[in-house]
């Protein structure tokens, strides 16, 4: 099995899903999983995209088993390093009369080096699901196949020829696909295609077929946009007398409106999910369900279970729908199931990265035991790691917090609120120890002594400490923040309410 991405963009969720299906299939059948970077299109490749692919696969835990070096961890194969071998095969096909020289002006469609832009990625609904819609729509006008040896010699003086495969005429082409069944391409849909351009570049179908053969790939699992390339690659295997691998073309991924997933739907590249605080195991689980299911409505599956259950017979033909809500649900389940220390470690890593980015780290150090307490409090509530920083923003704010005006309007009506805040401040100022239980008991006793409900203290205290009208248990929040911060925040809210009151009076 192999994953053969072109490093011409960030690792897209679709690419990550292709990599995962290959990896799961390899692990399930105890085969080998190879990473081959198809970097033959010098104009469109960028090293940082190749790096993003390695980082993305490593983040997902999709390790590869082989490479050009000896002993792991392996470097990936780079297709560009194998150009001489691709040329050797093309020359052999020419010598055996199975390819011929073409002296026509190159056409764009002939020149795609890595196969990636042959993919139907324009979101055109007509292209969704129809096998033949991916086939070339033009017929070859080139007549170079008929040139005599003398004519070829003469033309070669002026122009260096491309090489085209001589595609047999007459019979239709059939792909026996492990997902889509028998797919037939009418004969005239596969023209004599270019193997090597006039300037000596070997193109995708040749390079992919030679590499898949040389790397002993038994199963090619890839996106359905490559289906139309498959008869061409099969023709190369046949011409060379090689056994072709089995092919499995996995379904396109669409958004909830059944249109191609685009930036408008949110994140489409893997790094964005990483940055939003998704957990790799949840993303793996989610990607596995894009076009495959174990049956029986099972959705929450560990990596081990996925490896045990995954096979191609349960991959569907119809488009897979990218359901962001499902990803959020899965991520929440994975966060809940993992120990609090995992969440705390992720949150700490986020804060560290953020500090490095904003160079704020020097004056504010995060104490691990503090993050651990916050993580424990929010563990069952958050969908992503970053939500800890959003929902619990008041735990990570150094200066005064801006109270939510609605919360103030609802729970801090004057003149009572200032009194309540001053009473609760006085009570907490002398409280020792300051654990959750102590804070709770002190506030309840205070309320009893004053003959009022504890909520009369709890609501304004919550606004003071969190700025919000809803939060996890306020006694616990107070004990995590510590007395100094709690008192400072009560003072700040009192000052804020006084100032607001003075402005209101002045306005009257």
Residues designated as active site: 263
User: Which residue, 53 or 480, is less far from ligand GLU as judged by CB?
Assistant: 53
CA R_g for the chain: 32
Closer residue to ligand GLU, CB minimum distance, 15 or 319: 15
Q: Which two tokens stand for residue 156?
A: 């070669």
Q: Verify binding: residue 211, ligand GLU, rule CB under 6 A.
A: no
Question: Three-class SS of residue 174?
Answer: strand
Minimum CB–partner distance for residue 212 and ligand GLU (Å):
8
The CB-of-409 to ligand GLU minimum distance in angstroms stands at 55
Residue among 82, 86, 180, 226 that touches ligand GLU (CB under 6 A): 226
Please tell me whether residue 222 binds ligand GLU under the rule CB under 6 A: yes
Size of the site for ligand GLU (CB under 6 A): 11
**For residues 115 and 460, which CB has a smaller minimum distance to ligand GLU in the complex?**
115
Greatest CA separation found in the chain? 112
User: Could you tell me the smallest distance in angstroms from the CB atom of residue 407 to ligand GLU?
Assistant: 51
Q: Could you tell me which stretch among 4-12, 46-54, 141-149, 162-170 binds ligand GLU (CB under 6 A)?
A: 4-12
Residues 38-57 that bind ligand GLU (CB under 6 A): 38
What are the DSSP calls for 120-151, one per residue?
--S--GGGSS-SGGGS--SPP---GGG--HHH
Is residue 37 close enough to count as binding ligand GLU by CB under 6 A?
Answer: no
CB of 292 to ligand GLU, least distance (A): 18
Looking at beta carbons only, is 25 or 100 nearer to ligand GLU? 25
Beta strands in 30-113 (DSSP E): 34-37, 77-78, 99-102
Query: Tokens 């809500």 correspond to what residue?
Result: 325
Q: Which is nearer to ligand GLU, 226 or 459 (CB)?
A: 226
Cβ 60 to ligand GLU shortest distance, Å: 17
Contacts of ligand GLU in 83-142 (CB under 6 A): 114-116, 119
Q: State in angstroms the smallest separation of the CB of 290 from ligand GLU.
A: 17
The contact mask relative to ligand GLU for 300-329 (x = CB under 6 A, - = no) is ------------------------------
How far from the centroid of its chain's Cα atoms is residue 156's Cα? 48
User: Which SS3 state, helix, strand or coil, does residue 320 take?
Assistant: strand
Question: Which residue number, 207 or 480, has a Cβ lying nearer to ligand GLU?
Answer: 207
> In terms of CB distance, is 40 or 385 closer to ligand GLU?
40
- Calculate the dihedral angle through the C-alpha atoms of 234, 240, 242, 245, rounding to the nearest 10 degrees: -30
Q: Which of 4, 20, 312, 374 binds ligand GLU (CB under 6 A)?
A: 4
Decide: is 6 part of the binding site for ligand GLU (CB under 6 A): yes
Angstrom distance (rounded) from CA 24 to CA 1: 10
Binding test (CB under 6 A) with ligand GLU, winner from 208, 209, 439, 464: 208
Q: Which run of H or E residues covers position 173? A: strand 173-177
Q: Is there binding between residue 277 and ligand GLU (CB under 6 A)? A: no
**Tokens representing residue 141 in the block:** 């006008």
Query: Within 10 A of 418 (CB to CB), how many other CB atoms are there?
Result: 17
Spatial separation of the C-alpha atoms in residues 508 and 505, rounded to whole Å: 5
**DSSP class per residue in 212-273:** HHHTT--EEEEEGGGGGGHHHHHHHHHHHTPPPPEEEEEPPEE-TTSSB--GGGS--BHHHH
Contact 204, 229 (CB under 8 A): yes
Note whether 64 and 35 are within 8 A (CB).
yes
- Stretch touching ligand GLU by CB under 6 A, among 3-11, 170-178, 277-285, 464-472: 3-11
Which spans of this chain sit near ligand GLU (rule: CB under 6 A)?
Answer: 4-6, 38, 114-116, 119, 208, 222, 226
């Amino acid at each position: 099995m192999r994953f053969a991405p072109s490093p011409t963009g960030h690792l897209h969720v679709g690419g990550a899903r292709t990599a995962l299906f290959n990896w799961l299939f390899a692990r399930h059948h105890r085969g080998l999983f190879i990473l081959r970077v198809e970097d033959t299109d010098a104009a469109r490749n960028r090293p940082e995209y190749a790096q993003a692919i390695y980082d993305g696969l490593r983040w997902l835990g999709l390790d590869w088993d082989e490479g050009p070096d000896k002993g792991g961890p392996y470097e990936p194969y780079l297709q560009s390093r194998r150009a001489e071998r691709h040329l050797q095969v093309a020359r052999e096909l020419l010598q055996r009369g199975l390819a011929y020289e073409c002296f026509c002006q190159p056409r764009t469609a002939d020149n795609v080096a890595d196969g990636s832009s042959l993919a139907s990625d324009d979101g055109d609904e007509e292209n969704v699901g129809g096998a033949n819609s991916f086939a070339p729509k033009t017929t070859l006008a080139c007549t170079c196949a008929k040139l005599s040896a003398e004519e070829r010699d003469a033309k070669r003086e002026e122009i260096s020829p491309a090489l085209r495969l001589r595609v047999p005429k007459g019979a239709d082409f059939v792909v026996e696909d492990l997902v889509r069944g028998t797919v037939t391409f009418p004969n005239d849909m596969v023209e004599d295609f270019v193997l090597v351009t006039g300037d000596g570049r070997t193109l995708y179908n040749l390079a992919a077929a030679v590499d898949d053969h040389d790397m002993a790939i038994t199963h090619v699992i890839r996106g359905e946009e490559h289906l139309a390339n498959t008869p061409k690659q099969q023709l190369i295997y046949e011409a060379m007398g090689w056994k072709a691998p089995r092919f499995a073309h996995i379904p396109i991924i669409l958004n909830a409106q059944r249109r191609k997933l685009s930036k408008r739907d949110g994140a489409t590249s893997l790094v964005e999910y990483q940055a939003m605080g998704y957990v790799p195991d949840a993303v793996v689980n989610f990607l596995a369900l894009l076009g495959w299911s174990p049956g029986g409505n099972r959705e929450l599956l560990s990596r081990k279970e996925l490896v045990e259950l995954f096979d191609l017979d349960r991959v569907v033909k119809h488009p897979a729908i990218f359901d962001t809500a499902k990803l959020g649900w899965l991520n929440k389940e994975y966060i809940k199931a993992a120990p609090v220390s995992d969440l705390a470690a992720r949150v700490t890593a986020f804060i560290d990265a953020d500090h490095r980015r904003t160079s704020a780290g020097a004056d504010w150090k995060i104490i691990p035991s503090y993050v651990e307490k916050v993580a424990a409090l929010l563990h069952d509530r958050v969908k992503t790691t970053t939500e800890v920083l959003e929902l619990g923003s008041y735990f990570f704010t150094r200066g005064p917090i801006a109270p939510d005006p609605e919360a103030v309007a609802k729970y801090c009506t004057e003149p009572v609120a200032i009194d309540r805040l001053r009473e609760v401040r006085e009570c907490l100022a002398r409280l020792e120890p300051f654990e959750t239980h102590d804070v709770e008991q002190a506030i309840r006793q205070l309320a009893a002594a004053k003959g009022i409900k504890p909520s009369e203290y709890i609501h304004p205290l919550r606004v003071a400490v969190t700025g919000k009208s809803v939060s996890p248990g306020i006694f616990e929040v107070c004990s995590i923040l510590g007395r100094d911060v709690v008192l400072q925040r009560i003072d700040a809210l009192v000052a804020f309410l006084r100032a607001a009151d003075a402005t209101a009076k002045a306005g009257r």
